[in-house]
């Protein structure tokens, strides 16, 4: 059994990961600062089932300001999911993105590096396909050309992880996540908005012409990739991996699936494309498949079905 620190534990991916790690028999220290990106009660709802589980400890702390080294005592691994997400607000609130995504990562790396050496914690960092830019269609060696302040701060965080690994011998892995969806998805994310408005009979605004496509990743497939990186440090340390799903779909195709799954008709209007939005993402997961045995199992339709059922019961 390992002791694993998970940052962003009350969030979308973090809450699922904590549950999976506990089921694997690990002790989990979950950390969250409840940054007011979206309402705190939604995160507390994610956290509630975890807090009654044996082996789970929750700490409310801010990576940007609080003393972090005590949280690393006895830790075998750190999974750094905490971040300021969402590209739209990054144009208006750059200071928040800089501090949450860059400063917080640097401080956590410094605290982890203080425990470097034999038996040092394995640092698994969650990055994003946004580091590739408008088109994320190649493998991990593709050019890095982010087109939003969000993507730029996440790329800076990646570079910090790799720098600390080289300078201090920190055992580190970077995972680039592609468009994660499913139960617990943040309320600002596209599929959550589409489902919520479909169920309420409200008009849905599609940014652009609806042909932007994504290589969507169901949240439990994403969690499986993270678990595999943790379980195979000999293959993952010092490496960067794409974690994505097996299907590429565009916005119009997703809305058609959601109409079938909800039994509702989408009332659509089109707005201008969002500044900094990716045009197409297709996750090349060959490296993760070979090194980690990563193989996403969930079709987009099945994943959307699970998200629809979750939103029906929680909203």
Catalytic residue among 150, 181, 191, 218: 150
Q: Is 133 helix (H, G, I), strand (E, B) or coil?
A: coil
Residues 161-200 have pLDDT tens digits of 999 999 999 999 999 999 999 999 999 999 999 999 999 9
Is residue 150 annotated as a catalytic residue, yes or no? Answer: yes
- pLDDT confidence of 262, banded at 50, 70, 90? very high
CATH of domain 3-181+217-243: 3.40.50.720
- Crossing angle of the two packed helices 12-23 and 219-231, in degrees rounded to 10: 50
Residue with tokens 């590096």: 113
Output the furthest CA–CA distance in the chain (Å, rounded): 58
**Contact status, residue 293 vs residue 286, Cβ threshold 8 Å:** no
- Of 314, 16, 294, give the one whose Cα is nearest residue 181: 16
Residues 265-284 have pLDDT tens digits of 999 999 888 777 778 889 99
256-293 per-residue burial string, b: 16 or more CB within 10 A, e: under 16:
ebbeebbeeebeeeeeeeeebebeebbbbbebbeebbe
Residue with tokens 């993507």: 151
Residues 118-159 have pLDDT tens digits of 568 999 999 999 999 998 888 999 999 999 999 999 999 999
- Crossing angle of the two packed helices 300-314 and 251-262, in degrees rounded to 10: 60
pLDDT computed for residue 209 by the predictor = 86
- Hey, CA dihedral for 267, 269, 275, 278, is it positive or negative? positive
The token pair at 180 is 């994660």
CA-based radius of gyration for the chain? 19
pLDDT computed for residue 296 by the predictor = 97
- Of 278, 86, 94, 279, give the one whose Cα is nearest residue 186: 86
**Contact status, residue 28 vs residue 57, Cβ threshold 8 Å:** yes
- Crossing angle of the two packed helices 40-51 and 12-23, in degrees rounded to 10: 0
pTM greater than the 0.85 cutoff: yes
Q: Where are the beta strands (DSSP E) in the chain?
A: 3-7, 27-32, 56-60, 77-80, 122-128, 135-136, 171-177, 180-181, 203-207, 213-215, 217-218, 240-243, 248-250, 267-271, 280-281
């Amino acid at each position: 059994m390992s002791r694993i620190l998970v940052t962003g534990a009350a969030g979308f991916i973090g809450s699922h990961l904590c549950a999976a790690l506990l089921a694997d028999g690990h002790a989990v220290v979950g950390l969250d600062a409840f940054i007011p990106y979206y309402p705190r009660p939604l995160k507390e709802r994610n956290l509630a089932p975890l807090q009654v589980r044996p082996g789970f400890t929750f700490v409310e702390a801010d990576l940007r300001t609080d003393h972090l080294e005590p949280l690393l005592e006895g830790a075998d691994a750190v999974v750094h999911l905490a971040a300021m997400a969402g590209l739209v607000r990054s144009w208006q609130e750059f200071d928040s993105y800089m501090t949450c995504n860059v400063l917080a990562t640097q401080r956590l790396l410094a605290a982890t590096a203080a425990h470097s050496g034999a038996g040092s914690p394995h640092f698994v960092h969650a990055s994003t396909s946004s580091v590739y830019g408008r088109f994320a269609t190649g493998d991990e060696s593709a050019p890095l050309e982010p087109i939003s302040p969000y993507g730029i701060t996440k790329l800076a965080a990646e570079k910090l992880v790799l720098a600390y690994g080289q300078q201090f011998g920190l055992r580190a892995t970077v995972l680039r996540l592609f468009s994660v969806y499913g139960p617990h998805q943040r309320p600002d994310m596209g599929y959550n908005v589409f489902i919520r408005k479909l169920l309420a009979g409200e008009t849905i605004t599609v940014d652009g012409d609806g042909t932007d496509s994504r290589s969507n990743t169901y949240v439990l497939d994403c969690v499986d990739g993270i678990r595999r990186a943790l379980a195979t440090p000999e293959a993952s340390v010092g490496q960067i991996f794409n974690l994505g799903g097996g299907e590429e779909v565009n916005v119009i195709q997703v809305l058609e699936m959601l109409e079938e799954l909800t039994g509702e008709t989408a009332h659509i209007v089109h707005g201008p494309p969002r500044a900094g939005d990716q045009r197409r993402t297709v996750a090349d997961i060959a490296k993760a498949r070979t090194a980690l045995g990563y193989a996403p199992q969930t079709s987009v339709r099945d994943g959307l079905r699970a998200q629809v059922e979750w939103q029906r019961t929680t909203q």
